[in-house]
Copies of this chain bind each other. A is one copy, B any other.
Amino acid sequence: MSQRVVLLAHEKFPDGSKTANGIIRYGDQDVVAVLDRDRAGDRVADHLPGVSDAPVVGSFGDVEGEVDELIVGISPIGGAFDESWRPDVRAAIEAGCDVTAGLHYFLNDDEEFAALAADHGVTLTDVREPHEGLGVAEGRADEVSADVVLTVGTDCGVGKMTATMELAAAAEAAGVDACVVPTGQTGIMVEGWGNPVDRVVSDFTAGAVEEMVLERGDDHDLLIVEGQASIVHPAYSAVTCGILHGAMPDALVLCHEAGRKAIHGYEDTALPPIEEYVDLYESVAAPVHGTEVVAGALNTSGVDDDDAAREAVADFSERLGAPAADLVRFDAGDVVGALR
Contact = CB atoms under 8 A, between A and B. Distances in A.
Contacts of A269: 139, 287-288
B136 A236 contact: yes
Contacts of A280: 283-284
A61 interface: no
Interface in A191-250: 197-203, 205-207, 231-242, 244-246
A182 to B, nearest CB: 16
Contacts of A138: 234-235, 266
A139 B268 contact: yes
A203 B199 contact: yes
Nearest 8 A/B pairs, CB to CB: A238-B242, A205-B238, A241-B241, A139-B234, A232-B287, A137-B235, A238-B238, A198-B203
Contacts of A235: 136-139, 203, 206-207, 245-246
13 contacts: A78-B135, A139-B235, A139-B266, A139-B268, A203-B239, A206-B237, A232-B288, A237-B284, A238-B245, A269-B287, A272-B286, A276-B283, A280-B284
Contacts of A200: 201-202
Which of A78, A207, A231, A237 has the most CB atoms of chain B within a 10 A radius of its CB? A237
A271 B287 contact: yes
A104 interface: yes
Contacts of A239: 202-203, 205, 238
A104 B246 CA distance: 20
A233 B280 CA distance: 15
B104 A201 contact: yes
Majority DSSP secondary structure for residues of A touching B: mixed
Contacts of A244: 237
Nearest to A241: B241
Interface in A38-67: none
Contacts of A240: 241
B231 A241 contact: yes
Contacts of A205: 202, 238-239
A220 to B, nearest CB: 23
B231 A237 contact: no
A330 B233 CA distance: 38
Nearest to A208: B202
Nearest to A203: B198
Interface string A61-90: 000000000000000011100000000000
Contacts of A237: 206, 241-242, 244-245, 284, 288
A270 interface: yes
A304 B245 CA distance: 35
Contact of A136 (B77, B271, B283, B287): B77
A235 B240 CA distance: 13
Interface string A259-290: 00000001011111000100110011011100
A172 to B, nearest CB: 30
Nearest to A233: B245
